[in-house]
Each structure stands twice: as structure tokens, then as C-alpha cells.
């Protein structure tokens, strides 16, 4: 008859991608030798010995469920085994990028190389200064919606093992959403060699915007920048048609909203 085990409170002190540290307590001091047997659903079970109540088990597969059984050795005989099942952590995702950036949405994609990745889900933490919500995805992509135009967000993606709780380390990227198109673009003044343009913008983030005004005469000829919702465009040719296209630019100086255009003839001299 197998003796009942003096081992109790078996738990994982540390869970990593390829290693775990197990600890346990004893209800007597009768044993100072242990055998730990472990494996996953597809591997041959392995075992190792320990002389203490803590053991590190290495060379495990990320994001995979393992079962561990700890046997105490008393007088040369093994007691009943004490079991523990747990998942190793998934690896961090790779190549996280924004495949599409819109005014109120961003499409993220990433890759993952773990052999267990078919069973993974993903948690995407959406942060604007502070974390504001989580989005879940069943595959290596996610559309994040209901964002604020022209605003910086940090997106952090965690791979989650099949137990729906063991998470890998997060990988992050920063993205600005696109500003909204400008509104009510008009020429406040049309002169012989200059035009004064004005427009409006309703975005809550618009205080941080700059503006790029593309000046076109048959082909684009130059850009004018402005820090506010107006611009004086000078050095134009009298009696000539120009198209002016205004883009709002987010605070990263790179993410532009869709352009709004107006065609105007300068006055003849």
C-alpha cells in the first residue's frame, strides 16, 4: 500500500516561458528526497530528483500545459504523488504593427512563433495616458474602434494561453489616430499674389494640431505649414487658378488627416 504523502501546498513560485519553479510544504520532517515527474500531453514524461522543497524545471515549451507530480521518498519508498497542472507563459508577440490607421480606429497585426499558438487568444490593452480598456482577439490581428481623432494611444498585446489566464509579456506600440478633415474651408481674402485661407476643426485634440496646405497649379508646387486654422499663401501668380488642400496634422508631425480642397483664381493685376 502506497503511503500518503507528507507533501502539501504544492504550487508554482515562478512561471516563465520555458521554466517553472515549484515549492511545497511538509507535514513532517520524515523526507528529504523527492522525485518530480512532469510532461505535457504530447511529450514523454520526464523526472528529476530534489533534496529540498523547491525545484526549478527547465527546457519547457512556451504556452503549453504541463502536469507535475511530486513524490516524497520515505525509507527508500515513494509516497503517493501530489499533482499540479499549469501552463507555461506564451512568448511575447513579434512584429507588432499598425496595418491601418484611421480617424477613430486602428488595425493591428502581429506574429507569434510558439508551437502552441493555435490555442492562444490575445488581450490588447488600449491606453491613453492610463489604460482605458481591453480588447480580446482570437487571432494575430485586432481592429480597435471608438478611438478619439488625432490622439496618441499605446497598444499593448499579450498572448494568452488556453487556460485564458496565463499571459505572456506584453509588446507595445504608440500610434496617433488620424485627425478629422478640416471643416468650412474658405478664402477670407483673395489678392493678386496672395490668398488668405481659414477653416475650422472640431476634434478635442485640435489644440495640438498643425496644418499642411498643399498648393497646386496643375501639379503640386509647394507646401505651406500653419500652427492654427488659417494661412496666408503668398508669391502666387496673378489671374491664375490654384487648388489649396488643407490637412490637419497630429502632434507627432506625421499622422495626417484627409485633405479638404478649395479652388481659387487669384485676382488679375
The residue that leads in pLDDT, 29 or 86, is: 86
Q: How far is CA 176 from the centre of its chain?
A: 13
Q: Write out pLDDT tens, residues 9-35.
A: 999 999 999 999 999 998 877 777 999
Q: Write out pLDDT tens, residues 181-212.
A: 999 999 999 999 999 999 999 999 999 999 99
| pLDDT recorded at residue 219 | 85
Residue 242 in this model has a pLDDT that exceeds 70: yes
**Residue found by looking up cell 481659387 in the block:** 264
Cα distance between residue 198 and residue 175, in whole Å? 28
- Class of the CATH domain delimited by 183-265: mainly beta
Q: What Å distances lie between residue 103 and 62, 109, 130, 144, 179, CA to CA?
A: 37, 18, 20, 11, 6
- Class of the CATH domain delimited by 7-87: mainly beta
Give the least confident one: 31-35, 215-219, 232-236, 246-250. 31-35
Same fold, 7-87 and 183-265: yes
Would you identify the CATH topology of the domain 94-176? Immunoglobulin-like (2.60.40)
- Pair 195, 188: CB distance under 8 Å: no
Instruction: Write down the domain spans for the chain.
Output: 7-87, 94-176, 183-265
Rounded to two decimals, what is the model's pTM?
0.88
Percent helix / strand / coil, the chain, rounded to 5:
0, 55, 40
Amino acid at each position: 500500500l502506497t503511503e500518503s504523502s507528507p507533501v502539501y501546498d504544492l504550487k508554482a513560485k515562478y512561471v516563465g516561458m520555458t521554466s517553472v519553479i515549484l515549492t511545497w510544504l511538509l507535514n513532517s520532517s520524515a523526507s528529504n528526497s523527492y522525485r518530480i515527474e512532469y510532461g505535457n500531453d504530447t511529450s514523454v514524461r520526464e523526472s528529476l530528483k530534489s533534496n529540498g522543497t523547491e525545484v526549478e524545471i527547465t527546457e519547457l515549451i512556451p504556452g503549453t500545459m504541463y502536469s507535475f507530480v511530486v513524490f516524497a521518498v520515505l525509507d527508500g519508498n515513494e509516497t503517493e504523488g501530489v499533482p499540479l497542472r499549469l501552463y507555461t507563459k506564451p512568448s511575447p508577440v513579434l512584429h507588432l504593427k499598425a496595418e491601418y490607421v484611421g480617424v477613430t480606429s486602428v488595425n493591428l497585426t502581429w506574429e507569434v512563433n510558439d508551437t502552441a499558438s493555435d490555442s492562444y487568444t490575445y488581450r490588447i490593452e488600449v491606453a491613453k495616458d492610463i489604460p482605458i480598456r481591453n480588447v480580446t482577439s482570437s487571432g494575430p490581428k485586432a481592429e480597435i474602434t471608438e478611438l478619439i481623432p488625432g490622439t496618441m494611444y499605446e497598444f499593448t498585446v499579450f498572448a494568452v494561453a488556453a487556460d485564458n489566464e496565463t499571459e505572456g509579456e506584453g509588446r507595445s506600440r504608440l500610434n496617433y489616430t488620424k485627425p478629422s478633415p478640416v471643416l468650412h474651408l474658405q478664402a477670407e481674402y483673395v489678392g493678386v499674389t496672395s490668398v488668405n485661407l481659414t477653416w475650422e476643426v472640431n476634434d478635442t485634440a485640435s489644440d495640438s494640431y498643425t496644418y499642411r496646405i498643399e498648393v497646386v497649379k496643375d501639379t503640386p508646387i509647394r507646401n505651406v505649414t500653419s500652427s492654427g486654422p488659417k494661412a496666408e499663401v503668398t508669391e502666387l501668380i496673378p489671374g491664375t487658378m490654384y487648388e489649396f488642400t488643407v490637412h490637419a496634422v497630429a502632434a507627432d508631425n506625421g499622422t495626417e488627416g484627409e485633405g479638404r480642397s478649395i479652388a481659387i483664381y487669384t485676382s488679375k493685376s
